[in-house]
Amino acid sequence: MYFRFGRLETALKVFDHMPQRNDASWNTAISGCVRVGSFAKAVELFREMREDGIEPNKFVLASLLTACNRWAEMVGKGIEIHAFVLKIGMMSNVYVGTALLHLYGGYGFLSDAQRLFQDMPERNVVSWTALMVSVSTNGYPQEALKAYWRMRREGVVCNQNSFTTAISSCGLLEDEKLSLQVIAHVVVTGFETDVSVANSLITLFGNLGRIGDAECIFNHMEQKDTISWNSMISAYSREGMHKESLQLFSGMRHGNIKPDTTTFSSLITACSCLDHLKWGKGLHALSVKDGLDLFVSAANALVNMYSTTGKYEEAEVLFHDMPKRDLISWNSMISSYVQSGQCTDALKLVAQQIQTEKEINHVTFANALAACSSPKALLDGKTVHALTIHIGLQENLLVGNALITMYGKCNAMREAGLVFQTMPDHDVVTFNALIGGHAENEEQREAVLVYNWMREAGITANYITMVNILGACFTPNDLLKYGKPLHAHVVSTGFESDEYVKNSLITMYAKCDDLDSSAYIFDGLGNKTAVSWNAMIASKARHGHGEDALKLFMEMQHVGIALDQFSLTSGLAASTSLASLEEGQQLHCLTTKLGFDSDIHVINAAMDMYGKCGKMDDMLKLLPEPTERSQQSWNILISGHARHGSFGKAEDMFKQMLSVGRKPDYVTLVSLLSACNHAGLVDKGIGYYNAMTSKFGISPRIEHCVCMVDLLGRSGRLVEAERFIENMPVSPNDLIWRSLLSSSRTYRNLDIGRKAAQRLLELDPLDDSAYVLLSNVYATNGRWEDVDKLRMHMKSINLKKRPACSWIKVKNEVNSFGIGDKSHPQALRIYSKLEEILQMVKQVGYVADTSFALHDTDEEQKEHNLWSHSEKLALAFGLLNVPEGSTIRVFKNLRVCGDCHMVYKLVSKAVDREIVLRDAYRFHHFTGGECSCSDYW
């Protein structure tokens, strides 16, 4: 009686004062201690019982094994009891055998449990159910159902626990056909009205997404317990039906059913998104009021909710305030750090977990590997990989998939391939990870090869497979060789109707310079989601069609599609490509209004916009604190200073980045080499290039090589530039040869210029820049006959050079000018102002640099041609229309010529105004007769 009411001390006191004790007395005392959770006392009584010469019976042994199963520290004691059972010959007893099954199954010793079950001479429904529970809870629901069918074939009558386990296993498999067969058996045997079975059916239908069926069972239940309500709330939560979850919770409370931690965990999970966060916070407050926030499961759900909604600081505070943490707590917090980009903190937490000998599992390592998903973290990733081998988890499927993903993101595809080869099993996620890795590393052929392996292995592809493999196409050649055949395959396999695949097709065609096909697919979409619009806007912005991108952005708003951080980032990128400060500022205001001003990707896009629109002061206002900056933030900052000619500041920021523990990536080094290039610091640039591999472990890419060729060429070291190209670790592309050709024009090197032009035309026979630059080389060397021949050849193949164009924005209107343009409404005033400027600069010593007039005419005509340049027309317009005291901002699509550069300098001093000119390569800030580029561009 006292044990039944939890009065342990009183019960034991009565037991101790008994004058005589028989085996029933001992059995009752030991079983009572197990019932109230005093497992150590139960074992102590068992030892005293044996010392008194009382032989234990089957009930005592079963109770003791139950105690060992419930208390992890007693697993060794359980094995000792098993040995004792063998010694006294009680293994044939079905109760003892079943208790041992629960013990071995509970600790994951499945082979021992299965062998024990096979050796049992007598098996009843409880034994069969114990086996089913053991295999199902250890991740083998299919084996549990096999045991269920065997039990039925052997004529063992199922009870409610058997059905509950079978139904739960069906739910884990999400096999609808199999589930309906088991349900039919439940109905035939009349167990559908049993509360525990009905609860399992609600959970099953919830897992299958059949909410209507789950509601039907719930509504027809004559009796409902807390689990019934929790099962229905959990089903709603799984489907994201937060409103229905909360309404049911209200009904539960009005029905005087006391919610427990499971109730709150399910409800909090249902509210784990920004739209429903206010309800989640209300549940948090209610759980605190009821004292349920101290329970691990509820606290874990809260940590997950705050992490999912981006409230990482709240998640961290909750985690550290938890009085008790389990494995899920640690894994949730590690995942939260990874989601927030605090990868170092995530790895520190894993290290703490290992050092304090906390439990760790495959999920822990999957999260740890996710924290190493960048090239700079490759060494950390390899360390975590070594730990998985040490602990014996290297053959776990989830860990293997995480390893492939990590190596792919670290640009280490050789290691990713080795992991794939050593994995005992592969699933669709494995192949998707390997295909995605090859795609991210622009290894198109390998991505297609892995996809073919996947098909040969009989693994069914899903939409992620298609998205990944389509993402492997980057160039027009990729599109022809892989992209279009893959598109045909997408259609034939029925994936064309998938929203994500359609969006990937839009992106693929855009990346491969086929914007017409991209737009055709977009226009044909019946249901354009935010992802579709974002893909199209980003594609337009990426290809320099900023105006079209902004029009799409406006249209997206007009049709009522909610803007997200990706829409705003693409819109800002469009403003950046147009160098349109006003539109960029408006979009920046919109990000603040919509609450995305703290999103790091939006911040980076806004910073990039301000930097490329010449507003470095506004860019710096947005800059996060050094310890909070992402890698992209640092890269944008360094690149901004480089573009504006401030090498010293760019280098200082690079050193500051290193000092706070950030490692540079390949983009950082491109920006730094670009800064050296703009400043003409050849030796400094060579030093940083050499340090890329030796100090920072970054393999040179084509972008780094372009910087180096341009740096050497523009400084007149053409022979060194030529030698560098010969020894480059990557094949030279059009940018390499175009840079060398441009430098040959500057230094009138006809021999190297011809070689560069020949290589450029081998890559693209219709590259107009090759003809134009070679023509300029001939012109600077006085080879006018060769100039005429080139121009005649261009005319014969109907090839026109890209016209120079400059523009300036005044009062929200863009005013564009071509060479000698007289189409502007203010043309008469502009040319009058231009004459005034000419006389002004001549008074301060201006002499026309006719080396930039590349036509065979007399000097007077050459000077006249120079004063028809588009940037001079834009300057004249700016002086006429931009208010006094305001900065004049001019943009040009090509590199500014030396004569125009000189005029801008002289005008800035003569009129005492700041003039900013952004050409195709950099910003020029003219003030007081000086330029930020120090005449080196």
- Please identify which residue in the block is written with the tokens 């703009």: 678
Q: Give the ranges where 392-526 is alpha helix by DSSP (H).
A: 397-409, 413-422, 428-440, 444-456, 463-470, 476-478, 484-492, 499-511, 515-523
Whose CA is closest to 545, among 505, 585, 590, 510? 510
The CB density around residue 820, as the number of other CB atoms within 10 Å, is: 13
**What is the tens place of the pLDDT at every residue in 337-355?**
898 888 889 999 999 988 8
Sign of CA dihedral 79, 80, 84, 87: positive
The CB density around residue 150, as the number of other CB atoms within 10 Å, is: 12
C-alpha 251: how far from its chain's center?
40
The DSSP code for 376 is G
Residue 709 and residue 740: Cα distance in Å, rounded?
7
323 backbone dihedrals φ, ψ, rounded to 5°: -70, -30
Residue 702 and residue 670: Cα distance in Å, rounded?
10
Q: Are 568 and 587 in contact (CB under 8 A)?
A: yes
Q: Give the ranges where 797-888 is alpha helix by DSSP (H).
A: 827-843, 859-866, 870-881
Query: 426: which residues sit within 8 A by CB, 6+ positions away?
Result: 420, 457, 459
Strand 923-927's sheet: what is its strand order? 813-817, 806-810, 888-892, 915-918, 923-927, 930-931
Q: Which amino acid is it at 689?
A: Y
Classify residue 703 as exposed, middle or buried by CB count within 10 Å of its CB (0-12, 13-18, 19+): middle
Whose CA is closest to 587, among 577, 601, 597? 597
Task: For the chain, count helices (H), then strands (E).
Answer: 52, 6
Query: 831: which residues sit within 8 A by CB, 6+ positions away?
Result: 822, 876
- Please identify which residue in the block is written with the tokens 């999400």: 174
Third-level CATH fold of 426-527 = 1.25.40
Q: Are 56 and 46 in contact (CB under 8 A)?
A: yes
Whether 426-527 and 702-802 share one fold: the answer is yes
**Mean per-residue pLDDT over the chain, rounded:** 86
Work out the percent of the chain whose per-residue pLDDT is above 70. Answer: 96
| Mean pLDDT of all residues in 674-691 | 92
Whose CA is closest to 28, among 44, 39, 40, 42? 42
Whose CA is closest to 410, among 439, 367, 381? 381
| Mean pLDDT of all residues in 520-525 | 90
| Mean pLDDT of all residues in 447-459 | 92
CATH ID of 702-802, from 2.40.50, 1.25.40, 1.10.1660, 1.10.3470: 1.25.40
Residue 411 and residue 308: Cα distance in Å, rounded?
28
Query: 189: which residues sit within 8 A by CB, 6+ positions away?
Result: 158, 163
Residue 682 and residue 685: Cα distance in Å, rounded?
5
The pLDDT confidence band at residue 2, using thresholds 50, 70 and 90, is low
Q: Are 926 and 917 in contact (CB under 8 A)?
A: yes
**What is the tens place of the pLDDT at every residue in 620-660?**
999 998 888 888 999 999 999 988 888 899 999 999 999 98
Residues found in the chain: 937
- The DSSP line for 673-706 is HHHHHHHT-HHHHHHHHHHHHHTT-----HHHHH
Q: Are 248 and 263 in contact (CB under 8 A)?
A: no
Structure token digits, residue 174 = 């999400």
Whose CA is closest to 405, among 395, 347, 413, 471? 413
The DSSP code for 927 is E
Lowest mean pLDDT across 38-52, 289-303, 879-893, 910-924 = 38-52
Residue 892 and residue 920: Cα distance in Å, rounded?
7
Classify residue 258 as exposed, middle or buried by CB count within 10 Å of its CB (0-12, 13-18, 19+): exposed
Res. 240: pLDDT tops 90: no
pLDDT: which is higher, 269 or 110: 269
The pLDDT confidence band at residue 888, using thresholds 50, 70 and 90, is very high
pLDDT: which is higher, 163 or 790: 163
Whose CA is closest to 57, among 86, 80, 23? 23
- β-strand 888-892 against 813-817: which pairing, if any? unpaired
Lowest mean pLDDT across 365-379, 719-733, 792-806, 918-932 = 792-806
Res. 856: pLDDT tops 50: no
What is residue 838's predicted lDDT score, i.e. its pLDDT? Answer: 92
Sign of CA dihedral 16, 22, 24, 27: positive
Whose CA is closest to 131, among 110, 160, 156? 110
Rg value, the chain, Cα? 37
What is residue 435's predicted lDDT score, i.e. its pLDDT? Answer: 95
Q: Any bridge partners for residue 815, and if so which? A: 808
Lowest mean pLDDT across 220-234, 248-262, 508-522, 602-616 = 248-262
CA 589 to each of CA 576, 582, 585, 678: distance values in angstroms, whole numbers, following the listed order: 15, 11, 6, 32
Res. 687: pLDDT tops 90: yes
Q: Which amino acid is it at 868?
A: S
Residue 545 and residue 537: Cα distance in Å, rounded?
9
Q: Are 94 and 124 in contact (CB under 8 A)?
A: yes
pLDDT: which is higher, 255 or 365: 365
**What is the tens place of the pLDDT at every residue in 86-110?**
777 667 777 777 787 777 777 677 7
Res. 673: pLDDT tops 90: yes
Structure token digits, residue 98 = 């079943």
- Please identify which residue in the block is written with the tokens 């002004």: 840
What is residue 858's predicted lDDT score, i.e. its pLDDT? Answer: 45
What is residue 774's predicted lDDT score, i.e. its pLDDT? Answer: 83
Classify residue 26 as exposed, middle or buried by CB count within 10 Å of its CB (0-12, 13-18, 19+): buried
User: Residue ranges per domain, the chain?
Assistant: 426-527, 535-623, 635-699, 702-802, 806-931
Res. 854: pLDDT tops 70: no
Give kind and range of the element (H or E) at residue 804.
none
What is residue 857's predicted lDDT score, i.e. its pLDDT? Answer: 45
What is residue 603's predicted lDDT score, i.e. its pLDDT? Answer: 94
The pLDDT confidence band at residue 921, using thresholds 50, 70 and 90, is confident
**What is the tens place of the pLDDT at every residue in 356-366?**
877 888 999 99
State whether residue 930 is helix, strand or coil.
strand
Count CA within 13 A, CB hemisphere, residue 750: 9
Angle between helical axes of 734-746 and 750-763 (0-180°, round to 10): 160
Query: 107: which residues sit within 8 A by CB, 6+ positions away?
Result: 69, 75
State whether residue 658 is helix, strand or coil.
helix
pTM for the predicted model, two decimal places? 0.66
Whose CA is closest to 252, among 263, 241, 261, 242? 263
**What is the tens place of the pLDDT at every residue in 714-772?**
899 999 999 999 999 999 999 999 999 989 888 889 899 999 988 988 888 888 888 88
Structure token digits, residue 648 = 């010293």
- β-strand 813-817 against 923-927: which pairing, if any? unpaired
| Mean pLDDT of all residues in 203-208 | 89
Q: Are 94 and 62 in contact (CB under 8 A)?
A: no
